[in-house]
Amino acid sequence: MDINFIPHRRKKKRARAFLFIVLIVGVGLVTYYHKTITAPASADSALHQFIVEPGKGSGDISYQLRDAGLIKNALVFQFYIWQTGISSKLKSGEYFIPGTASIKDIAQILFIGPSATKERTVTFIEGWNNQQIAQYLESQGFGSTEQFLSLVQKKESWWDDFSALASRPRDVDLEGYLFPDTYRIFSDASLEDIIKKMLANFELKLTSQMRADIIARDMTIHQILTLASIIEKEVPGDADRKVVADIFYKRLAAGMALQADSTVNYFTGKGLARASADDISIDHPYNTYKYRGLPPGPITNPSLSAITAAIYPTPNPYWFFLTTPSGEAIYSKTFEEHISNKNKYY
């Protein structure tokens, strides 16, 4: 046996073991690096003012970010901006950075410059109520839910600047008047600024012709928004909304209860397609099974589609409808036919 064979074999084993350790450590470092550059420093979505003074180098900026709690590892930040070739291209200025931004996000923001955070895009979904809008804005770092609800519930002097609010009863809030849309807003905008922007948008969307046609129907803007908000939650399609609007108008004229499950869900907080027998027996002003006519106010902030349907309904022979679990609207001319459809689909 070659006396050099055993030591040589041991050397090969040691080399393989060393390479394996290097590989494990390398994989660990790469995993840590990628996790660190993509994970936010915190779950706090609030905006943090961050100022980069002229002449500050990337090293100073990285430690400034760490001290502000916007990143956890200054060295990883420095390596990332070196790797991406932007370490000498970070721009000075005032930034508004959410706590949920990652190292990659922040590096991109500082590379683009202050304009990257001066304005932000926020989208309010059609059919959201004020509570949902408040929670969304809080998640985006614009004040608390409680602050927002306080502003839309207690009349402010600037409410008088918006003519569309004129028919709103004094004892109801701004539910229904905050137009759902995508907005560009300044990062440091106050909740009051955002509310004003939504109200101003609604003023524009409600054209002079629409206002005239509302008056011609012997309705107020508040009544139209209330009906539109119910239509919004009852059926999804534009055509169906106009048909359902006419059904509701016929019921109102005949003194029948609207019997809208969406209004029951509004005060129970449930999302049931069909309100339960217990729920519809609750004595509540928004219970349209129990009380005839429109409820006191909107149950959500309706889309232009639902508002248009409430102003311009499509005449039809139906008195009843239901929406299937798949979203299809089924119409009936008689109560007996309606019961048959309910048994068929539910």
Residues 97/100/101/103 CA torsion (nearest 10 deg):
120
Task: Mark whether 250 and 334 lie in a shared domain.
Answer: yes
Is 89 a member of any domain? yes
What number of CA atoms fall less than 13 Å from residue 335's CA on the CB side?
3
Domain final residue pick, 181, 205, 229: 205
* SS3 per-residue string spanning 3-23: CCHHHHHHHHHHHHHHHHHHH
For residue 8, what pLDDT is reported? 63
Residue 225 shares a structural domain with residue 338:
yes
Using CB atoms within 10 A of its CB, is residue 234 exposed (0-12), middle (13-18) or buried (19+)?
buried
Residue 292 within any structural domain of the chain: yes
Q: Which of 47, 142, 52, 46 is nearest to 94 (CA)?
A: 52
Per the domain annotation, does 232 fall within a domain?
yes
Number of folded domains that form the chain: 3
CATH code: domain of residue 80: 3.30.1490.480
**Any domain includes 33:** no
pLDDT in tens, the chain (346 residues): 555 555 666 666 676 766 667 667 666 667 778 888 888 888 877 778 899 999 999 999 999 999 999 999 999 999 999 999 999 999 998 888 888 899 999 999 999 888 777 778 899 999 999 999 999 999 888 889 999 999 999 888 889 899 999 999 988 899 999 999 999 888 878 999 999 999 999 999 999 999 999 999 999 999 999 999 999 999 999 999 999 999 999 999 999 999 999 999 998 888 766 778 888 889 999 999 999 999 999 999 999 999 999 999 999 999 999 888 888 899 999 989 998 988 887 7
Residue 269 confidence (pLDDT): 84
Helix (H) or strand (E) holding 122: strand 119-123
Q: Are residues 176 and 251 in the same domain?
A: no
Residue 20: per-residue pLDDT:
64
Q: Which two tokens stand for residue 65?
A: 């970010």
Same domain (yes/no): 64, 164:
no
* Residues 238, 337 contacting (CB under 8 angstroms): no
Strands, E, within 166-292: which ranges? 182-186
The dihedrals phi and psi of 234, each to the nearest 5 degrees, come to -85, -45
Same-domain status, 224 and 338: yes
Instruction: Tell me the one-letter amino acid at 275.
Output: A
Q: Do 292 and 229 share a structural domain?
A: yes
Q: Which amino acid is at 251?
A: R
Domain annotation covers residue 150: yes
If DSSP codes are grouped into helix, strand and coil, which group holds residue 121? strand
Same domain, 196 and 136: yes
Dihedral in degrees, nearest 10, Cα atoms 35, 38, 42, 46 = 180
Place of tokens 């106050």: 190
Q: Does residue 230 share a domain with residue 181?
A: no
Residue 297 buriedness (CB in 10 A; 0-12 / 13-18 / 19+): buried
**Are residues 288 and 311 part of one domain?**
yes
Alpha-carbon span 110 to 116, nearest angstrom: 8
- Same domain, yes or no: 276 and 197: no
From 152, 178, 205, the end of a domain falls on: 205
Same domain for 272 and 175, yes or no, is no
Last residue of a domain, one of 205, 235, 254: 205
107 and 137 part of one domain: no
CA distance 326 to 234: 13
Residues spanned by the domain of 53: 47-113
Q: Is residue 39 part of a domain?
A: no
Does a structural domain hold residue 99? yes
Q: What is the C-alpha separation between 47 and 234, in angstroms, rounded?
A: 37
In a domain, 317, yes or no: yes
